Structure 1
């Protein structure tokens, strides 16, 4: 990660600073603006595949969800704001989000059905910081797609292998289930989603 600015800012200052039509993505970590690593083709292929599968499923189930192109999740405590790779929002609750209309930002668990992060070189943020903050917000489901096995061994095993970790909120704490190879993923929110870990990983393999 490359820090975009070398001073502490508030969330409001971050939103005001954020470049219009930005070619790069930025997030706010405890008041520090951070430039996210440039995405790879494989990374973007997995995101595109997942969005397609998730959209088909919520439309089939007639759920009032949608996936914004760019939006922030802001924990209520502190000065952080994250732009997940996939953010599934519950449209009816957005009227209760004071920052939605002016800053495309949500902070309430009732607004957020699912967050997905596809791991890149900043894997510690996904497994440590974001997991803790998403748990504190109360986001019911959080997927970490570690297709290149970049995460630490304590997260994905030894020897390291491509892993999907699905964090589900149980009594205000995340419980994690992990899926590899031909394991069929088990999503609490989409119980009938018929995908294996390998199908998701293969979506990122360039042909």
Structure 2
């Protein structure tokens, strides 16, 4: 299947099968809801926040864990693939994307806020990600969620200053104002 794409600043959904997605020559987006979902390139501020957060998370990684930005995640048996802005995981495979359950997924909100706040919350919960952080530069806050009985419960909503973000037993000290600067 060939898909011609015009340059755009908006989220694009291109219907296709899972097989067509896996064989798509560019494979340049996420796949869910029966569509290749192509997002605009993350802006400078978005990328800077991911980079700063990656450094903070890497300083307090659990033994045997790794943190990577933009790592695709497709749980075994699921025909969808999401690409969190940051993922903390333990994985020994050489696959191009993660198939096990990560310790933490993080999304930095930008142009696809609805997907990050609804569609991805539902999928990450169904896929059993135990912790989900939502970083919101527009509203200057970080929301932390923990999976309880298959649903995410808000554990904290931080809006500034020195905070401690947690996932599992891990505590990550963060200057929220510097992170979101």
> Given the two structures, how large is their TM-score scaled by the length of structure 2?
0.82
In the alignment, the residues of structure 1 paired with residue 70 and residue 33 of structure 2 have an alpha-carbon distance, to the nearest angstrom, of 20
> Given the two structures, how large is their TM-score scaled by the length of structure 1?
0.73
Structure 2: runs of 5 or more not aligned: 1-9
| Aligned with 2:43 (options 27, 40, 43) | 40
Q: Which has the higher strand share?
A: 2
Tell me the residue number matched to 2:12.
Answer: 3
Structure 1: runs of 5 or more not aligned: 150-161, 203-207
| Aligned with 1:142 (options 132, 156, 160) | 132
In the alignment, the residues of structure 2 paired with residue 198 and residue 170 of structure 1 have an alpha-carbon distance, to the nearest angstrom, of 29
Are 1:107 and 1:137, in contact at CA under 8 Å, matched by a contact in 2?
Answer: no
CA distance 1:18–1:136, shift in 2 (3 Å):
farther
In the alignment, the residues of structure 1 paired with residue 52 and residue 67 of structure 2 have an alpha-carbon distance, to the nearest angstrom, of 13
Are 2:56 and 2:173, in contact at CA under 8 Å, matched by a contact in 1?
Answer: no
Are 2:106 and 2:132, in contact at CA under 8 Å, matched by a contact in 1?
Answer: yes
Tell me the residue number matched to 1:122.
Answer: 112
Q: Pairwise mapping of residues 1-207 of structure 1 onto structure 2 (< 5 A)?
A: 1-3=10-12, 5=14, 7-10=15-18, 12-19=19-26, 25-58=28-61, 61=62, 63-68=63-68, 70-75=70-75, 79-91=79-91, 94-95=92-93, 101=95, 104-109=96-101, 112-149=102-139, 162-176=140-154, 177-182=156-161, 184-189=163-168, 191-202=170-181
Aligned-residue offset at 1:73: 1.5
Residues paired across the two proteins, number: 171
Are 2:71 and 2:85, in contact at CA under 8 Å, matched by a contact in 1?
Answer: no
CA distance 1:181–1:29, shift in 2 (3 Å):
same
Q: CA offsets, 1:35-79, max 9 Å, x none?
A: 112211110100011111111211xx5x11113455322256764
Q: Which has the higher helix share?
A: 1
Aligned-residue offset at 1:34: 1.5
Are 2:71 and 2:86, in contact at CA under 8 Å, matched by a contact in 1?
Answer: no
RMSD of the TM alignment (CA)?
2.3
Q: Could you list the structure 1 runs, at least 4 aligned residues long, displaced by more than 6 angstroms after superposition.
A: none
